[in-house]
Structure 1
Amino acid sequence: MENLSFQLEACVNCFNAARIAEQAGADRIELCENLHAGGTTPSAGTIKQVKAHLQIPMYVMIRPRGGDFCYTEEEFAIMQTDIKLCKNLGCEGVVFGILKQNGEIDIDRCRKLVELAWPMETTFHRVFDLCPDPHRAVEELIDAGFQYILTSGQQVKAVDGIDLLAQLDEMARGRIQLIAAGGIRYPQLQELLTRTHLRYFHSGASVPMPTAFPESAPFALSDILINGEEIKRMKTLLKEYTQKQTPSSE
């Protein structure tokens, strides 16, 4: 019997969040900024600092701006520069996605970035959920050399996309790993584990970031931070499932 582990990727938006995620037991992090815009590339300083202090693998969001995922030549050049930086710093992986105007994957550009990123691993992010033909998209991403697809099964929340997640995972047959994302906390993780064979899960587990300044400040000071206790709960659950998959030595 194969020994299968279940992995929890924590989505973090700053150095402190990355440290909290590691201390809480996350297997790896996805590092980004501007989560309110769906995540953009963090600063070079943030990437360097997190890489220098964390022991767990770090996957960096490569997205030059918010908004859609159809990029100009200049923006594509920025993505290449950021990938080179991550590779030079020894990051374990990068996360990106590019679409054409019709919503299909810009597979030629994506393949170029996968080749540039090697030997880092590559994740095609949740823009996958905008693709008009997800089954075709999975095959295209396998052919392009991606290791992971971050997806909620083309729904806002992963639990609402369970049927498609299970279907795509079965179709992939281990050639690429689906990472379930979208509103995942302990109860949703339980349901996903029960109803699918997925092994990778992604969660921001966000809570409001505390601030020393009053709510009456003349401009917004609000942001979010990862909830370490929720990450601990989910990681404990995944450990239990991993033990169930581990063959007995008796």
Structure 2
Amino acid sequence: MLNHLEVCIDNIESLHYAQQGGATRIELCSSLALGGLTPSFGFMKQAARTADIPVYAMIRPRQGDFLFNDDDVEIMLADIHAARSASLQGVVVGVLNAQGEVDTDILRSLMKEAQGLGVTFHRAIDQCIDPFTALENIMSAECERVLTSGLQANALSGADTIAEMVQFCGDRLNIMAGAGVTANNVAEIISKTGVKEVHLSGKTTRPSMMINYSKQAYMGNADVDDFSVPVTSAEKVKAVLKAPQ
């Protein structure tokens, strides 16, 4: 039985749909297409005003790997402060060293700045060489939970490893399964892993509401349709909650 269904979003419209679908927690991001980056301060503040459920801000200053330099860390510390100032309930972090291990020094600094907030360690763990040593370090840092796909492309493929993580951590750390979670596989993921929390985007798209516009200019890559807006589907979120468990 699920205790939490977390939905990751990157626009305020999606927050409304996630809540309508029954989400119990929000992971607030920008650029979900890049795996999720830090949302703007304005987005944090509006989410705090709008949400009836806890909102955790992604703290990730750039796309790419999770090996961060001193400048990156200063940005992350400032963004954690911003999340608190915006009255959010928590943050989502993940930091590694060049050897594919949790960077315990940086994590300790982030946790100190996040004192009083909930903290999730994100799927950076899925790029660790030894996930169980990583879990020990994450527990020592006193994070609340880990989001993981079991070191695989999606949570169903990584279900065996996720189950091992659940057994390894017991009640010391919540394991949240994420990546590729849908109404069609959530029951199997829960059954195989024993997780009590799952994470999904429930993404769909809607057409632009613009009536007239030029089609010659692109705001980014030409293969990305600027007039197809990605949003969370309340129906997809609701279907995950209603799936037999």
CA shift, 1:212, in A, is 3.2
How large is the RMSD of aligned CA atoms in angstroms? 1.6
Residue 124 of structure 2 aligns to which amino acid in structure 1?
Answer: V
Correspondence for 1:182 among 170, 179, 183? 179
Quote the residue 2:26 is aligned against: 29
Match of 1:166 among 147, 163, 168: 163
SS in structure 2 at match of 1:225? strand
1:93 is matched with 90
2:6 to 4, 9, 24: 9
Once structures 1 and 2 are overlaid, which stretch shifts more, 35-44 or 213-222? 213-222
- Structure 1 residues not aligned, in runs of 5+: 242-250
Question: 1:81 — aligned with what?
Answer: 78
Between structures 1 and 2, the one with greater helix share: 1
What's 1:228 paired with? Answer: 234
**CA distance 1:124–1:215, change in 2 (3 Å):** farther
> What is the alpha-carbon distance in structure 2 between the residues aligned to residue 11 and residue 210 of structure 1?
21
- Superposition pairs of residues 59-138 of structure 1, within 5 angstroms: 59-138=56-135
The alignment partner of 1:184 has SS state of coil
- Give the letter for the 2:171 counterpart: G
The AA in structure 2 aligned to 1:118 is Q
Using the alignment, how far apart are the partners of 1:25 and 1:75 within structure 2? 35
In 2, Cα distance between equivalents of 1:236 and 1:91: 28
The 1-side partners of 2:187 and 2:206 are apart by 27
Who is 2:217 aligned against? 218
After TM superposition, give the deviation of residue 37 of structure 1 in Å. Answer: 1.1
Q: Is the 8 A contact 2:67 2:95 kept in 1?
A: yes
Quick check: 2:10–2:28 contact (8 Å CA) kept in 1? Answer: yes
Any stretches of 5+ residues in structure 2 without a counterpart?
Answer: 219-224
* CA contact 1:111–1:145 (8 Å) conserved in 2: no
| Structure 1 segment 197-208 matched on structure 2, within 5 A | 197-208=194-205
**Structure 2 match to 1:247:** none
Q: Distance in 2 between matches of 1:210 and 1:84?
A: 36
Which residue, 177, 191, 208 being the options, matches 2:188?
A: 191
Within 1, Cα distance between the matches of 2:109 and 2:16?
32
Q: Percent identity?
A: 33
Which one-letter code corresponds to 1:235 in the other structure?
L
Q: Name which of 47, 55, 79 aligns with 2:52.
A: 55
Structure 1 residues 215, 135: CA separation in 2 closer, same or farther (over 3 Å shift)?
farther
Cα deviation, residue 5, structure 1: 5.0
Structure 1 stretches (4+) deviating beyond 3 angstroms? Answer: 212-217
Give 1:216 deviation, angstroms: 4.2
Contact 2:208–2:229 (CA under 8 A) maintained in structure 1 = no
Q: Secondary structure at the match of 1:224?
A: strand
- Paired AA for residue 217 in structure 2: P
State the partner residue of 1:20. 17
Please, which moves more after superposition, 227-236 or 142-151? Answer: 227-236
Question: Does the Cα contact within 8 Å between 1:31 and 1:58 map onto a contact in 2?
Answer: yes
CA deviation map 1:3-26 (0-9, x unaligned): x75210001111101111012110
Asked whether the 8 Å contact 1:12–1:32 carries over to 2, the reply is: yes
Amino acid at match of 2:233: N
Residue in structure 1 matched with residue 221 of structure 2 by the alignment: none
- Contact 1:69 1:99 survives alignment (8 Å): yes
Q: Which residue of 1 aligns with 2:154?
A: 157
